[in-house]
Amino acid sequence: MSKFITYLSSLLMSHSFKIVIIHLFPLFFISGCSFTKEPIYRTDFLLDTVVTITLYDHSSQKLLDQCFSLCKDYENKFSKTIPTSDIAKINTSKGAPTMVSDETIDLLNISLGYCKLSNGNFDITIGNVTSLWNFTDGTSLIPPKKDIEKAVSTIDYTKVLIQGNEVTLLDPSMSLDLGGTAKGYIGDRLKEFLLSKGVSSALINLGGNILSIGGKPDGTPFSIGIQMPFESQNTTIDVIQIKDQSVVSSGIYERYFYVDDTLYHHILNPKTGYPYENNLFGVSILCDSSIDGDCLSTICFTLGLQKGMELIETLDGIEALFITKDYSLHPSSGWGN
């Protein structure tokens, strides 16, 4: 990631870019595969999305159950909407130091590192803004401007203080939201767990994050379909072959509403409090780490096609697919190779 850090830092010093926190959703699917041994899988609704874990070389339902218990445990630590979570406790502490788990500290440190790298344009203290918007209840309501402006004024990642396992919000009115990084982190931890149990062929699907362990049992790669924007699930716009990699997609077409023919989507800009505006429907990132994919898909989306592609082409082992609003595909040089 050294080239990425150097390059992005230089970009941010010479330009004013707007980085947003993203909530990721099922923007791709697994295309048809043929196996001689019947795989086992489990599906549940966790992390505000549909989670599916499929094992191709193991038949232990207990192992799947352990994965979902682990996933639920992480959700209970990282979700800002679960009152007993580490994040909720921090948000309601009124600025008092709050003791949290090692995993929460780890995720916060990674997330704050990306906040610093982006010069504060990517900011996990966007929680007051994300709480104002609702893209799922069908009301199609734009929050009052004064409420958005007040919420934006509380965003400042530099006011999150970590000392050991204690977290203090130096501005008691701010609110954390790890929706842009938590699923990537959880996906990586689930993959580590399965590898430790000897799994060599599996798929982890956390909505907009897919991670593969190895390839198919016959050694060939998995085929992952990239979702066609604004079409029904399982309608593909592209297919990528992956083996022991992660694909993360970020797009504007999963949670949104229209007001006066204007589309308002769930990708919120922490500088304005409103949905980010550019010429992209979405970005998919192919890399080894799901949390890196989370952050890079966010950054590339907000940079736009030209600057985002310029960034990707400087990074070893990382590829991207940009989908513009005319439904054109713009792959990086190594996408699909």
pLDDT, average across residues 219-242 = 91
Instruction: Give Cβ neighbours of residue 254 (< 8 Å, ≥ 6 apart).
Output: 25, 26, 27, 208, 266
Q: What is the pLDDT of residue 136?
A: 86
* Alpha carbon 75 to its chain's center: 14
- Annotated domain spans of the chain: 2-331
Q: Could you please state the CATH topology (level 3) that the domain comprising 2-331 is classified under.
A: T-fold (3.10.520)
At 72-123, the pLDDT tens digits run 999 999 999 999 999 999 999 999 999 999 999 999 999 998 888 777 778 8
pLDDT of 6 > 50? The answer is no
Q: Which of 107, 103, 48, 43 is nearest to 81 (CA)?
A: 48
Instruction: Give the H/E segment covering residue 331.
Output: strand 329-331
Share of the chain above pLDDT 90, in %: 71
Tell me the β-bridge partners of 251. 282
pTM: 0.86
Q: What is the pLDDT of residue 304?
A: 85
Residue 101: count other Cβ atoms within 10 Å of its Cβ.
Answer: 16
Q: Give 324's DSSP letter.
A: E
Helices 290-312, 2-14: crossing angle, 10 deg rounding: 60
Q: What are phi and psi of 246, to 5 degrees?
A: -125, 140
Residue 219: count other Cβ atoms within 10 Å of its Cβ.
Answer: 9
pLDDT, average across residues 255-271 = 92
Rounded Cα distance, 249 and 267, in Å? 12
Q: What is the pLDDT of residue 16?
A: 29
Reduced to 3 states, what is the DSSP secondary structure of residue 53? strand
Helices 102-117, 182-196: crossing angle, 10 deg rounding: 130
CB-count burial class (<10 Å; 0-12, 13-18, 19+) for 279: exposed
Reduced to 3 states, what is the DSSP secondary structure of residue 113? helix
